[in-house]
Structure 1
Amino acid sequence: MTSAASPHITGGLNPLVISGRVDAERVELTPRGELVHGCAETLAKTLAELPHTITRVDLDMRGVHFMDTAGLQFLNVLGDYGRQRSLTVTTRNWNGQPRRILELAGLDTSDPIRSAGHDAAAVPAPDLGSSVVSLERAERLHVLQEEVEQLRQAIVSRPVIDQARGILMATHGCTSDEAWHILRETSQLSNTKLREVAAAVTASAEPNGPPPPPELRTALQRALIHRRDERGRGKS
């Protein structure tokens, strides 16, 4: 058994696929991909197809490498399924960024279903009343959403940044780490976003490509000189 989210739902990045194995009265589900918009619907479809004779559902989450607040809705669907049918439901092997999101949401990473209770997984719509608890939850959600957005930007920016690093390595004979530091320092010196610096470097390497703007060229030269000086001091 396998269920998958449509690419248009997840933006085509890495749609969620849930495979499963039935062993007597127990089902083990293995989600792979991203817990983003549409993941709760994919899970609900998978759960609706399970045999009515099962008494336990276990999810192995090691194949999930990215999660935003939609992942909390995924947990809510799973928790509701267990309560409505009086089943045991568990999730295990949360790693990397999804584990960090659970921590930010205040959930137990070893058993987020139990720690979420009935309503806690629905964090995306906190009650912004005067209670300390609701205000704390709202602040926690704000931090969570900021971190997710930063991670999304990093994923989107990575290809062009990797290209720029390769260009600097080939052009200036520097290592991958040195190229990374050169890009970061250029970004800081010119007060330009790292992705924009990388895009300018990459574009300038194309045949008849435009050179970086003057302020970027100056910052890049300073960063290159600084890196050469540091390398020279390291050899002395």
Structure 2
Amino acid sequence: MRTAESNPLIIECRTDDTGRALLAARGELVHGCTAILARALAELPAGTRRVEVDMSGVDFMDTAGRRFLDLLRDYGERHMIPVAAVNWRGQPRDFWELCREVEQLRRAMATRPVIDQARGILMATQACTSEQAWNILREASQLSNTKLRTVAATVTASAENASSPVPEPVHQALRTAIARVRG
């Protein structure tokens, strides 16, 4: 695990006569870096009309980097001035890819119980294996052009409440998928 002691963040500031403040960040964007940025922003002279943070000296960024960028954005909104983080060397691409992956995993974990319930319902009602139930859900999703978690929620809702209608495209796709599994 990296810490701020590995290569602590340093922000040097200079301003020009147009009211632009250029903050040069060097080091690692890790826990504690938002306090360093907050101090640098608080020390900007009155009349600052634009803030640019040069990120070319940043050699590592973890999730604290997002808080750093949020703080910069909030400063701009609060002072009604444009702000920008410029001269990235690939750090945010890697970081944002990781954020997207984490979000996808969170969604998968949230939808997993309903998919497992639907598999159990299909296993019980269609006398099929767990793998066959998975294939039914997957194929019904593809045939109806409906997200798998939505198909699973529909199967679960219809089992819990017989009066819960299954949308026709999903119903037809489920029948087709079940027929194929039964072969």
- Using the size of structure 2 for normalisation, the TM-score is 0.55
Q: Determine if the alignment matches structure 1 residue 130 to structure 2 residue 87.
A: yes
Partner Cα distance (1:123, 1:185) in 2: 41
- Partner AA of 2:65 in structure 1: V
CA separation in 2, counterparts of 1:139 and 1:227? 42
Tell me which amino acid in the other structure corresponds to 2:132.
E
**Partners of 1:120 and 1:142 in 2: how far apart?**
11
2:123 matches 1:141: no
1:78-89 aligned within 5 A: none
Q: State whether structure 2 residue 131 is matched by structure 1 residue 174.
A: no
Counterpart among 164, 173, 192 of residue 118 in structure 2: 164
RMSD: 2.5
Q: Separation in 1 of the partners of 2:59 and 2:85?
A: 19
2:104 partner amino acid: Q
Counterpart in the other structure of 1:61: none
State, as a whole percentage, how many aligned pairs show the same letter.
Answer: 49
- Whole-Å separation in 1 of the counterparts to 2:146 and 2:98: 25
The residue number in structure 2 matching 1:76 is 31
Query: How many Å separate the matches in 1 of 2:85 and 2:132?
Result: 46
- How far apart are residue 128 of structure 1 and its match? 4.2
- Cα displacement (A) at 1:120: 3.0
Distance in structure 1 (CA, Å) of the matches to 2:92 and 2:110:
27
Question: What aligned pairs does 1:1-236 form with structure 2 within 5 A after superposition?
Answer: 76=31, 120-121=61-62, 122-124=64-66, 125=68, 128-131=85-88, 133=89, 136-229=90-183
**What amino acid is the match of 1:76?**
H
Letter in 2 for 1:150: Q
Aligned residue for 1:46?
none
Deviation of residue 207 (structure 1)?
4.3
Shift of 1:226: 2.0
Aligned residues between the structures: 114
Residue 209 of structure 1: CA displacement?
3.1
- CA shift for structure 1 position 130: 3.2
Post-superposition CA distance 1:55-111 (Å, at most 9, x none): xxxxxxxxxxxxxxxxxx9x736xxxxxxxxxxxxxxxxxxxxxxxxxxxxxxxxxx
Change (3 A) 1:183 1:76: same
Q: Which amino acid aligns with 2:149?
A: R
TM-score, length-scaled by structure 1: 0.43
Structure 1 CA distance, aligned partners of 2:135 and 2:113?
Answer: 17
Separation in structure 2 between the aligned mates of residue 185 and residue 142 of structure 1, nearest angstrom? 32
- Give the AA of the match of 2:177: A
Q: How far has the Cα of 1:191 moved from its partner?
A: 1.1
**Post-superposition shift, 1:178?**
1.3
- Could you tell me how far 1:163 is from its partner in structure 2? 0.9
Paired residues of 1:123 and 1:137 also in contact (CA < 8 A) = no
8 Å Cα contact 2:123-2:129 kept in structure 1: yes
Structure 1 unaligned regions, length at least 5: 1-72, 78-116, 230-236
Q: Is the 8 A contact 1:167 1:202 kept in 2?
A: yes
